[in-house]
Amino acid sequence: MTTARLSDIAAQAGVSEATVSRVLNGKANVSAATRQTVLAALDVLGYERPTRLRQRSAGLIGLITPELSNPIFPALAQVIEQVLSRHGYTPVLCTQTPGGSTEDELVEMLVDRGVAGIVFVSGLHADSTADHDRYARLTGRGVPFVLINGYSERIDAPFISPDDRAAMWMAVQHLAELGHERIGLAVGQRRYVPVLRKIEGFTAAMREVLGRSQEEAEELVHHTLFSVEGGHAAAGALLDKGCTAIVCGSDMMALGAIRAVRQRGLSVPHDVSVVGFDDSPLIAFTEPPLTTIRQPVEAMATAAVDALLEEVGGNAVQRGEFMFQPELVMRGSTGACAR
């Protein structure tokens, strides 16, 4: 094994090259958890394990995520992979891209490869119009799974979600305290469960904090794409409605909203305040640094893996939804209302 390969494995596993060398050569003074992490890194990078170490993998776990252009998804994937590796499992990452394999096709591929279980992130389970019988069929094939971000009472499995309603309450309360009364919400399509919950939280907060009617609050909700371009378009429409603050369904949308504000010759936060959602990696380094709602990525990912591995081990896990509290992170993109 070359030095370059040692460095690749060390980087993937988050350990020193010396530690990798000790594991590969069967030396002592390496914890069981570190040993499993190094072996999982070998598997992920496509290197063959030394013969004497080949039987030590506990198995493959599939991880199906949306496109990785939104940094919250690779952030979740990274933690899930790290936790799986610590338990001795090898993660198999499958990313859905426009025009690429469908969720069903990825599931077939993973099942054909004998995965012990599957983690779904923001998949069809989050789409209230999708056929959820596909998950019952997966259960019938004896493949345990856990679902992150999106809930359906028709699916018999553990769900892991951030509290989207509470997140919107935090955002509206924060902006109202800064003197904003006309607050807009930019979110994705209504058929997605997290979007529906964000709208519920937003309209309830607008009603109870600012005295807006349900109809008035709904007027300030704009549906768009979960992208920079989507946020840009939504912000333009909300600014036309006189909004002095905009809450966005993702950090990427918030970056688009800031761009739209600036294109009108206005500034953030002096003229318009913007709040994101996710607290994606590097988002604190935007200009201005983005006020956002932080998803508890580490806690959610760890809980998802723990629930799945209990199922894989034959232990029944509570069905239904485990809800995790988000956190308002105040930075420089929100300020006192200037009008």
Q: Specify the pLDDT at position 177.
A: 95
Q: Tens digits of per-residue pLDDT, 77-87?
A: 999 998 998 88
Q: Tens digits of per-residue pLDDT, 300-325?
A: 999 999 999 998 888 878 888 999 99
Q: Does the bond joining 326 to the residue before it have cis omega, within 30 degrees of 0?
A: no
Q: Specify the pLDDT at position 334.
A: 93
pLDDT at 52 over 80: no
- pTM of the complete model: 0.81
Measured CA to CA, the distance from residue 249 to residue 226 in angstroms comes to 7
Q: What angle do CA 99, 104, 107 make, to 5 degrees?
A: 115
φ/ψ (deg, to 5) at 187:
-140, 175
Q: Specify the pLDDT at position 165.
A: 96
pLDDT at 54 over 70: no
Q: Specify the pLDDT at position 328.
A: 96
Helix, strand, or coil (residue 234): helix
The pLDDT of 139-166, averaged and rounded, is: 93
Identify the band that residue 42 occupies on the pLDDT scale cut at 50, 70 and 90: confident
Residue 121 near residue 149, CB atoms below 8 Å: yes
Q: Specify the pLDDT at position 162.
A: 95
Homologous superfamily, domain 1-57? lambda repressor-like DNA-binding domains (1.10.260.40)
From first CA to last CA, the distance across the chain in angstroms is: 65
- Looking at the DSSP bridge assignments, the partners of residue 64 are 94, 120
CATH class, 164-295 region: alpha beta
pLDDT at 2 over 90: no
Residue with tokens 């998949």: 123
CATH 3.40.50.2300 boundaries in the chain: 164-295
Q: How far is CA 308 from the centre of its chain?
A: 17
CATH 1.10.260.40 boundaries in the chain: 1-57
Identify the band that residue 57 occupies on the pLDDT scale cut at 50, 70 and 90: low
Q: Specify the pLDDT at position 53.
A: 62
